[in-house]
Structure 1
Amino acid sequence: MKHLLFSEHQKMAELIHTNYRLLFVLPRFGIRLGFGEKSVGDICRTHDLSTSLFLLVCHIYTFDDFLPSPDQLDSFTAEELTCYLHRSHTDYLDNQIPEIRQQVLALAAGCEARNGRILERFFDDYSREVISHFNYEDTVVFPYIHNLSEGRLSDEGYSIGQFEENHSNIEEKLGDLKNILIKYLPDSLPEASRNRLLLNLFLLEDDLSKHSLIEDRILVPLVEQLEEKTR
């Protein structure tokens, strides 16, 4: 796989052509399209970003079996990583989920009342679970990491191991909603609208899966190293 990996010398546009799902990643680093022929390194320096962290995230989004080395984990700070993750949460809650909800409501309006309520309820229940999941990370996990970065261990004995044990994959719960759309709603619904909603649900599911991998493969081992140093 090594010869396929991205590098800071590549043009940023090449990364997007290689994997269009990196379009989800760019705004979470504050990068906007229109970067011309600039390289990854040029763009990261312009935005005062860790090139190593940016490339790690791109690799996880592109290669399913990618695992960062210990040296790679030492090339950026935990604060830089949690900043990216927090901006990801904001993107999901302020952009992706509200946009999909509007599609759900539009499709539900064309269903029988009972089917429409079921569709709305499934998505709203899922949205509440996502909000709760992200709120826990923003208010418990990230402040813990911030204190750890400054050399302070939790007084309550909290550790990143507790986060790892209870880390749920929120993207899995989208399966029920997709099955409702695929299997159970009447075929009289507008096909284009249903397919568009399904496509966006599949994209959200895949994006959330990559988000979870970043936490499992980068955040957890990085914080474990911090815990070891602090102790």
Structure 2
Amino acid sequence: MTSALQYKPRASLTPKKLSLTDKAYSAIKAEINAGHIPLNSFINIPEIEQQLAMSRTPVREAMLRLQTEKVVEIVPKRGIHILPLSVTDLIEYYQVIAGLEVEAVGNICRRRLTRTDIMPFLYALSSMENALKGDDHDAWALAEETFHRSLFILNGNHRLTETGLSYRDIVQRAHLVALRHIPISDKKRFLRHHNSLKELILSANEKLARENFQEQCDWASGLTAQILAEQEIISL
């Protein structure tokens, strides 16, 4: 492992009481999503047990859950292998997530939130802008991910929030890898699109906000597929 595992639950979604298996599952999945574990490497359960200060049972149960979700593959006598997503898988997930995010945008508009209310959204945009100025790819990619997650967090429908964030968890690692190949000119276009959406949300223009965001999603998905094909990347 490249960094110590630490359990960091989502405050807004965390049940009052979590089992050790839940905590192990969340911590390991967060480490995978962040890209801290290379795809072609193996990690072993004793190492994870030590880093999490947990016994074997909750860690193994967490791994079995991740294997069921096709996030990892448990290879006997070798350890845990992180399963990649194909580009086709990623694009298909994008389509599902986009549909959920369009609904989230509509919900946000109907809530008529103020600038103060949408601070997570504004913070993501500010972070993206600062990252572009500093030519910091990793910071830009994380801010882009935060932007999308903020749509679910602010939408007011808890079931939509949980479902949307779960899908973003599935694609996060592959998504961040794909974003590394986006040229700076298109990163700036992402920011322009997001700022346009911000204004529509603040004006509570649901119709235009939905249309604007759907166009953003279609463009971004097509761009990603094109760039990965040009780079001859078939899995992430």
TM-score calculated relative to the size of structure 1: 0.30
Which has the greater radius of gyration?
Answer: 1
TM-score calculated relative to the size of structure 2: 0.30
| Structure with greater strand percent | 2
| Structure with greater helix percent | 1
